[in-house]
A = this chain, B = another copy of it.
Amino acid sequence: MSNLGLLKFAKEASASRVVETPLLSNITANQITGKNLFIKPECLQVTGSFKFRGAWSALSYMKKEDSIFDGVVAYSSGNHAQGVAAAARAHKVSAVIVMPKDAPTIKIENTINFGAEVIFYDRIKEIREEIGEKIAKERNLKLIRPYDDPLVIAGQGTCGLEIASQAKNLGIKEAEVLVCCGGGGLSAGIALALEEYAPSFSVRTCEPKFFDDTARSLRSGTRKNNHSEAKSICDAILTPTPGKLTFPILKKLAGQGLVASDEEVLKAMKFLYENFKLVAEPGGAIALAVALFSSQSLQKENVIVVVSGGNVDSDLFKKALSKGSITL
C-alpha cells in the first residue's frame, strides 16, 4: 500500500478509539513567542501520548489481515509500551513489552496495568531490538517496532491529518510544525500527512541538546549516531540514530533540525502547566522549549507545537514547577 493508502487506513481505523486532540492557543504564549502559537496536546491521547495512534493502527491492520495470532511484542522506553499494551488489550490480544529497567515508574506501572507482560533489559549492556526479535520468534508473537514500521508511521500520521484539518478551519495557510524526534515515527508520519493535505506546512524536528542525531543527519544527508555517554531528562526521545524508514521521509520533507537543553525543557513544562493546564513529560515539552527559547530559528508566523506526551513521575514534575515562570 502507498503511504497515502496507509494513512487513509490508519485514519479509518482510528475513528472509534483515538482521541481527536484539540488545537489550543493562548494570548500569553503568543505575546511571549511573538508568534501565533498553537498547541496540539497529545498528552490527552489514550495512554497519555501519541504512541497509541501508531500502536492502534498497526494492531488494527494485523487483526484485519490475520484475525488469529498469539499476541504482540514491542520494545519501548515507555510510551510505545503503553500504546501497544492498551491497543492489544482493546483488540483482546496478549502483549509482551521489553522496557529498560530505568524507565519512569509511571510508564512501567501503566504498561502493567494495561495487562501487558513486562520484561526488563539493561539500556547500556543489552540491545533491545535483539531481545524483541528473539521473543517474537520463540513465542510466535508479532513484533510492533516503535517507529520503523509503515503502519506505525501512518498511525502517528493521523495526528498530522488532524493538524491539517484543524489549521484549515482556523484559516491558517502556512505554518511550521514543531515535533519532538526520537526515532522519527511521529515527525515522519506528520510530514507525510502534511505533504498531502497541507503542503505549505513544514515539519521541524526537535531534540535534546546532546541527542541531536536527526539534526546532524539532516545536515549531512546520512544517518548519524548519538554518543552513548550523553544524558538527558527526555527519556522518551533518546534514540541512538534516526530510523531506516523514517529518515528518508524526514530528509525529503523536514526543515533543519532544532534542539533544546534540559533546563529549557523544564521551563517549557512549567509554561504548559501555567498557561495551558497541561501535564507534559520532558520529551513532550521539547518542541515548546524550542518555540520559547529558539524562536529566532523559526521562519513562519504560525507555529504549531506538538506536545507528544505527559507520562512523567511527580518528583520530576515538581522540579519543573520549581522553575521560574516565563513572563513578558
Cβ 8 A contact of A24, one of B44, B113, B270 = B44
In the complex the two chains form, is B314's CB within 8 Å of A273's CB? yes
In the complex the two chains form, is B44's CB within 8 Å of A86's CB? no
In the complex the two chains form, is B321's CB within 8 Å of A48's CB? no
In the complex the two chains form, is B27's CB within 8 Å of A44's CB? no
A26 contacts across to B, CB distance below 8 A? 46
A24 contacts across to B, CB distance below 8 A? 19, 44
Q: Digit string of A262-300 for contact with B (CB within 8 Å is 1, else 0)?
A: 000000001001101111100000000000000000000
- Min C-beta distance of A312 to chain B, whole Å: 9
Chain A interface (Cβ < 8 Å from any Cβ of B):
19-22, 24, 26-28, 41, 43-44, 46, 48, 86, 89, 106, 110, 113-114, 270, 273-274, 276-280, 310-311, 314, 317-318, 321-322, 328
In the complex the two chains form, is A273's CB within 8 Å of B279's CB? yes
In the complex the two chains form, is B278's CB within 8 Å of A277's CB? yes
A311 contacts across to B, CB distance below 8 A? 277
A314, closest chain B residue (CB):
B321
Given contacts A22-B19, A27-B86, contact A277 B279 (CB under 8 A): yes
Main secondary structure of the interface of A (DSSP, over half): helix
A90, closest chain B residue (CB):
B27
A sample of 7 cross-chain residue pairs with beta-carbon separation below 8 angstroms, ordered by A number, consists of A19-B22, A27-B89, A44-B276, A277-B278, A277-B310, A279-B279, A314-B321
The 9 closest A-B pairs by CB, nearest first: A277-B310, A43-B277, A277-B279, A314-B321, A318-B318, A48-B277, A273-B279, A318-B321, A22-B22
A276 contacts across to B, CB distance below 8 A? 44
A113 to B30, CA, bound (A): 13
A314 contacts across to B, CB distance below 8 A? 270, 273-274, 321-322
A270 contacts across to B, CB distance below 8 A? 314
- Min C-beta distance of A56 to chain B, whole Å: 14
A274, closest chain B residue (CB):
B106
In the complex the two chains form, is B318's CB within 8 Å of A277's CB? no
A114 contacts across to B, CB distance below 8 A? 27
A39, closest chain B residue (CB):
B44
Among A273, A274, A276, the one with the most B-chain Cβ atoms within 10 Å of its Cβ is: A274
A309 to B317, CA, bound (A): 20
Given contacts A113-B28, A114-B27, contact A21 B22 (CB under 8 A): yes
A317, closest chain B residue (CB):
B321
A22 contacts across to B, CB distance below 8 A? 19-22, 44
A318 to B322, CA, bound (A): 9
Given contacts A314-B273, A314-B321, contact A113 B328 (CB under 8 A): yes
A317 contacts across to B, CB distance below 8 A? 273, 321
- Min C-beta distance of A120 to chain B, whole Å: 21
- Min C-beta distance of A92 to chain B, whole Å: 14
A310 to B318, CA, bound (A): 16
A277 to B43, CA, bound (A): 6
